[in-house]
Amino acid sequence: MIEELDQLPAEVQSVAYEQAREWLADSQSPDIKPRLRAVRKKLDGARRSKPKTVDVSEILFNKRRHLPDEVLKFERGLISEALAKVNGRVTHAAELLGVNYQRLAYIIETRHPDLLKKRTPVRRRPRKQ
């Protein structure tokens, strides 16, 4: 089960690993120790790649959250990631996210104005005469 905790922060994974290691220290199963070593190696790699500090108690003790705020944080992260992948092009980011250009531009302008810096400048097309 500890091998499937990829979605949790590294600190929580570490606590879970230490607990599993303690529980399984006297195990007679030949495949337990190699699996624990593999998980440890994975945790070490994750810790080196993203040094993020998280309050483990928040996750373990189910701190109350405000759903609309959490949705906005998640939405902001998705949009920011999509814009980064396509070098700030809103049209291409909208395709990645499965929405049309107008919707994504509206969401950025109204809900996440700080992301306006990440998008490419709007170029107005000349009018046909």
Q: What is the pTM of this model?
A: 0.50
Does one domain contain both 52 and 83?
no
Domain residue limits at 93: 67-118
The contacts of residue 94 (CB under 8 Å, 6+ apart) are 100, 101, 103, 104, 105
* Residue 20 covered by a domain: yes
Count: domains in the chain: 2
pLDDT per residue, tens digit, the chain (129 aa), is: 555 566 666 667 677 777 777 767 777 777 777 777 777 777 667 666 655 565 666 666 667 778 999 999 999 999 999 999 999 999 999 999 999 999 999 999 999 999 999 988 878 888 887
Same domain, 22 and 49: yes
- Same domain for 72 and 45, yes or no, is no
Q: Are residues 6 and 55 in the same domain?
A: yes
Q: 30 to each of 22, 26, 27, 35, 53, how far by Cα in Å?
A: 16, 11, 8, 10, 35
CA–CA separation, 73 and 61 (whole Å)? 21
Would you say 90 and 101 are in contact if contact means Cβ atoms under 8 Å apart? Answer: yes
